[in-house]
Structure 1
Amino acid sequence: ALGANSPFLFGKELWRETRIALFEQATDTRPEELKAQGVRPRVWFGERWITSIFDQFEENVRYFPALLPITEEEDPVEVFERGDAPALQELRLHNGTIYRWNRPVYDVFRGKPHLRVENRVLPAGPTVVDILANAAFYYGALRVLAEEDRPIWSRMSFTAAEDNFHQGARQGINARIYWPGIGEVPATELVLRRLLPMAHEGLSRWGVDTEVRERLLGVIEQRCLTHINGAEWQVRTLHQIDSAEQPLDRRDALREMLRRYVEHMHSNEPVHTWPLD
């Protein structure tokens, strides 16, 4: 919701983060018959909370056939027994063809195996400082949520989380979000009253300097107060150009909006500070 930055596709104003719907639809090759049978799409939010990485890999095998029949010569059991980390190339390749928006990944880096979670939700831009602010907010809030005595996933249904995800993508910064103990509230209000203090605390636990924390989360705060993120700036600017200049072709207005976007992007000033005229 806060980071939405792709409101246009082929000249049409669509979702505030159209990238989500575009990727889900463009990669969904299931005919209606298979959809009715419950066959899962390869791009999805998921269908339940998982408590172990094994849950995900079991789902992968159960629901998704391998796209590429490739096998490696490595014997992972033999590699493990001699004290090394198996590459598990087949598992990694298979997991790489299933695009959960938050995707746990097994990998080996410099000989050390690890698990990580790919957050594929956060949009890029409009500026580097906006990207850093998004990441700081996400990792700060995540730290606190993960360490709570009663974690969020024990208080919110998976269906509610999925609905929040799509509402944020569809409505952007104007979305209304469900939160346990509060109910449905504007995303900006939820951030200002609940999640932003949480992000400050989380970054403090990570050891982030106060000056850096205040700078980056201040961008998030002002974005909420002004109700301007990348998507809103693009939409409002386009409408302003349409109204003021009455171009013969809407593509002219889109080109002018994009020209201004690129110009402001190189300033590295947060998008909520960009002029709308």
Structure 2
Amino acid sequence: MGQDVDRRTFSRRDRQQYRAKVQRCLDVLALMLREHPFARDEPMTGIEVELNLVGRDLEPSLTGADVLHAIGSSEFQSELGRWNLELNLPPRLLPGDRWRHLEHQLLDELSVARAKAVDCGANLAVIGILPTLERRHLVAAALSPDERYTMLNEQMLNARGEPIRLDIAGDDPSGRHGVEPEHLTADFDSIAPEAACTSMQLHLQVHPDSFAGYWNAAQCVAGVQLAVAANSPFLLGSRLWAETRIPLFEQSCDVRTPELRNQGVRPRVWFGERWITSILDLFSENGRYFPALMPVTEDTDPMTELQDGHVPGLDELRLHNGTIWRWNRPVYDIADGVPHVRVENRVLPAGPTPLDMVANALFFYGLLRSLVEADRPLWSSMSFEAAEENFTTAARHGMEGPLYWPGSGWIRPDELVLRKLLPQAAEGLQRWGVASEVIDRYLSVVERRCVNRRTGASWQLDTVAVLEARGADRPTALRGMLERYLEASAANEPVHSWPLPG
């Protein structure tokens, strides 16, 4: 959500004033997009990684506040669950070998956090969903005590008016595990299931004039991203989707009752419904479709600020945007007194290793540059519905589900990446000015992942299957898998090279 709040109750008038203020911010943003200068420097990138803490029993460890205090760094922050942390690395440019240094920094930061966690009786797990979570862990008492999370929990439950329901049907289209699909249904009296989703978020600052192209391109590649980087196949002991984090996040943040869903009311975790021509399209949809969750209104008037020569914060617009979880989200922000806009890519899970995460990031950034600068935009020959179907198919099936791609028809994602998208990503990174040795290092990780058809999700599934075949029950197999995962993840060997139990 990103902004602190200090209110717990709201009146009808609060909500009315907030709606008017969001519209006022939209009007000011529209004026700024026409007349005000935005950042035009080389686009900055950013990365956030959400982390899990586990105890010696490999169950979630509610030591987040203690570990955060022990780390003592502003780059680490609390997250929704008391077993979560978030690492925010400073923004950086793409050219040269900067992202090779980012991998080193990521390794160093995680090493420090891991050591401090050990001092607090815990360990660090960089994974999409902690596989040892059980229903007894996902309760209100496990939420971080931060006021903004307490308030978010209350407001979302009040808006829904009934428990949060998870209903996720699993699938195994490959048949390689030889068992029937599993199905998870459960009700919760808090938004704690949302804390089970730990992701890697990528930011790309672009000029407003090119934002629409970059957002549309990010929507096009979202399914491919998931297919080659899935890392969340288990939830509450059940084998579900390759990237179960997707339906889990959608359902745990769903404030609609079944009746509202049947009416077609849009969800707050949203892929979207159309290609855009301006960033204003997305912010306008936010105001038009979504009621306030936390209608906190500031005293400042953004139009007056702009007329007085100041850059308006657009606080209400930003707060509202923070309670609508698009998989590719628009961001308005200010740095050094200059406004800028960013695409925030929220598609990817955390992990398995720093090397894998940097490879996923550079594959995304390179592919976006190539698609945006293509002679014919991909989204002009691909329906938005096809992009959304690709996203769902990849989340459900990983590399096993064919995706639709203009010029290729229906094609397996690993073949699509190897034949077409890796060369495009390499070309895009060259245009960003990324050093050739950096391109080779990280895109080769994605290449070998596709050649070996091995993602974090497939490794987890295959490892649990081996352990169960040896007689372990599901909880024992999940603990055995996680123990091996933590060791391999800390070694920073890419997941495509991880062995199965011998």
TM-score norm. by structure 1 comes to 0.97
1:79-113, Cα deviation, whole Å (9 max, x unpaired): 11222210000000011111110011111123221
User: Which residue, out of 321, 325, 331, partners 1:105?
Assistant: 331
Question: Secondary structure in 1 aligned to 2:348?
Answer: coil
Deviates most, 128-137 or 166-175: 166-175
User: Which residue, out of 461, 471, 481, partners 1:246?
Assistant: 471
Please state which structure has a larger fraction of its residues in helix: 1
Map of 2:397 onto structure 1: 171
1:1-277, aligned counterparts within 5 Å? 1-243=227-469, 245-247=470-472, 249-277=473-501
> Once the 2 structures are TM-superposed, how far is the Cα of residue 36 of structure 1 from its aligned partner?
2.3
Question: Secondary structure in 1 aligned to 2:311?
Answer: coil
Once superposed, what is the RMSD of the aligned Cα atoms? 0.9
> Once the 2 structures are TM-superposed, how far is the Cα of residue 117 of structure 1 from its aligned partner?
0.7
> Once the 2 structures are TM-superposed, how far is the Cα of residue 32 of structure 1 from its aligned partner?
2.3
1:127/1:269 contact within 8 Å kept? yes
TM-score norm. by structure 2 comes to 0.54
Structure 1: stretches of 5+ with no match in the other structure: none
Please state which structure has a larger fraction of its residues in strand: 2
After TM superposition, the runs of 4+ consecutive aligned structure 1 residues lying more than 4 A away are none
1:109-148, Cα deviation, whole Å (9 max, x unpaired): 2322111010000121100000000001110011000111
Letter in 1 for 2:229: G
- Structure 1 distance, partners of 2:233, 2:261, is 28
Higher relative contact order (CA 8 A, sep 6+): 1
1:80/1:86 contact within 8 Å kept? yes
Structure 2: stretches of 5+ with no match in the other structure: 1-226
Letter in 1 for 2:327: W
Deviates most, 64-73 or 135-144: 64-73
**Identity over aligned pairs, percent:** 61
- Structure 2 distance, partners of 1:150, 1:65, is 37
Letter in 1 for 2:360: N
Map of 2:158 onto structure 1: none
1:4/1:169 contact within 8 Å kept? yes
Question: Secondary structure in 1 aligned to 2:230?
Answer: coil
Map of 2:64 onto structure 1: none
1:44-79, Cα deviation, whole Å (9 max, x unpaired): 101111111111121111111111221111111121
Deviates most, 132-141 or 59-68: 59-68
> Once the 2 structures are TM-superposed, how far is the Cα of residue 15 of structure 1 from its aligned partner?
0.3
